[in-house]
Structure 1
């Protein structure tokens, strides 16, 4: 692996809100401090699990500045900049670069179910962002609904210097990761998986260098990645098997509300409020989540206690 390769666990930071729905910036600082103490290799902000689609443009800039200034180099930061409009994506990339982010993450251009960039439009948007001069992580997520075949990803990696990192979290991620690495070779600097790590073992077997998970149990996820990269698949499988019920419940039942619930339970933040139209977790679902987490004794449940 080259030195610039992203490895380990890169959690997505949740965005805390006060009970009235306003941004909780002191809570945001505590979230970041908790992630540092969880031993994460880096952090991603303003992603889907940060509720980016529920945050205004002004709030995005406030959060970008706040997070990078508060961390002050303690962790490398990836800033998500996805948007359908290429000029907006470019401006977001410039801000992230100027504030010291190590990379930006972006999905292909899409808006709703019907406005989707063509292969050439996707290429052009990533090329425009590449001109800003900050490394790019391409996010291949089901949410966009945009088909990103491996030959297109390889072409972008080879022809756009800044397209270096890939977060593959589509259906059949391991198969796609294996093909991407085989066809892209050295141009694929960091092939990561996502989806909270629910398919992490298969993805690591396929060549993933790490994972972009949630901020719920990144220290335990990191242990799996570290063991696998050290060649100890048996230990990696044991760790993965231990945490999989909690990850499965997060992925299938809770979504981005899981990390917030865990952080409230552990005293990291005061409120697990999510903006309408996102409903709160059902009490039974929340109780099941905490019940699955407690035997794991994760940092998040004792950080603020």
Structure 2
């Protein structure tokens, strides 16, 4: 396999599985009383699998991650990873502005069997913007702790502009950074 953008094997001489294709974000259904709809979540996952997706991303922004309590995140992660099991790879979003929490989330996702974790830059709100250096440090710590591939989410929501040279630096210097989700205006310019 070619060494694209300096991404090379850091895992003992054999290339880890390369993921390609469509990995939609699974929405999180709730009951009319605001509780997690576990059976509804299974139906969502089955629907996606039946449509022929290549993998599924859970606990992302579209999954209402900012509304979920820690116990609900744990319940959903366990339910989705166990339910999808060996059928498809699952990406678990572990974004948080507090690096220790992002590390804990990523470590737990790996323990539960996630194929990969996804993180956007540490976000602090509209007027408190993080930095590329802070993003680098968080991704490095998460990578060391989780030991599974990381997808970097270049998300406008974070308020941090990730430059192309910085993305290349991440790919070259942090072993687990393997994928990028670019979702900004003018994406084609990147």
Task: Provide the TM-score with structure 2 as the length reference.
Answer: 0.89
Match of 1:115 among 102, 110, 128: 128
Q: Check conservation: 2:130, 2:159, Cα contact below 8 A.
A: no
Match of 2:105 among 76, 81, 92: 92
Q: Deviations over 1:123-173 (max 9, x none)?
A: 100000010211100000111111111111111110000011000011111
Partner Cα separation in structure 1 for residue 46 and residue 174 of structure 2: 34
2:153 pairs with 1:139: yes
**Alpha-carbon shift at residue 5 of structure 1 (Å):** 3.0
Gaps of 5+ in 1: 177-305
**Alpha-carbon shift at residue 4 of structure 1 (Å):** 3.1
RMSD: 1.2
Partner Cα separation in structure 2 for residue 130 and residue 33 of structure 1: 30
For 1:189-208, list aligned pairs within 5 A: none
Partner Cα separation in structure 2 for residue 7 and residue 172 of structure 1: 22
Task: Provide the TM-score with structure 1 as the length reference.
Answer: 0.56
Residue matched to 2:53: 40
2:175 pairs with 1:161: yes
Higher RCO by CA contacts (8 Å cutoff, separation 6 or greater): 1
Partner Cα separation in structure 2 for residue 53 and residue 14 of structure 1: 13
User: How many residues are aligned here?
Assistant: 176
What stretches of structure 1 move > 6 A for 4+ residues in a row? none
Match of 1:60 among 34, 57, 73: 73
For 1:1-305, list aligned pairs within 5 A: 4-132=17-145, 133-176=147-190
Partner Cα separation in structure 2 for residue 120 and residue 11 of structure 1: 29
In terms of Rg, which structure is larger? Answer: 1
**Alpha-carbon shift at residue 118 of structure 1 (Å):** 1.5
Q: Deviations over 1:208-230 (max 9, x none)?
A: xxxxxxxxxxxxxxxxxxxxxxx
**Alpha-carbon shift at residue 6 of structure 1 (Å):** 2.4
Partner Cα separation in structure 1 for residue 70 and residue 97 of structure 2: 14
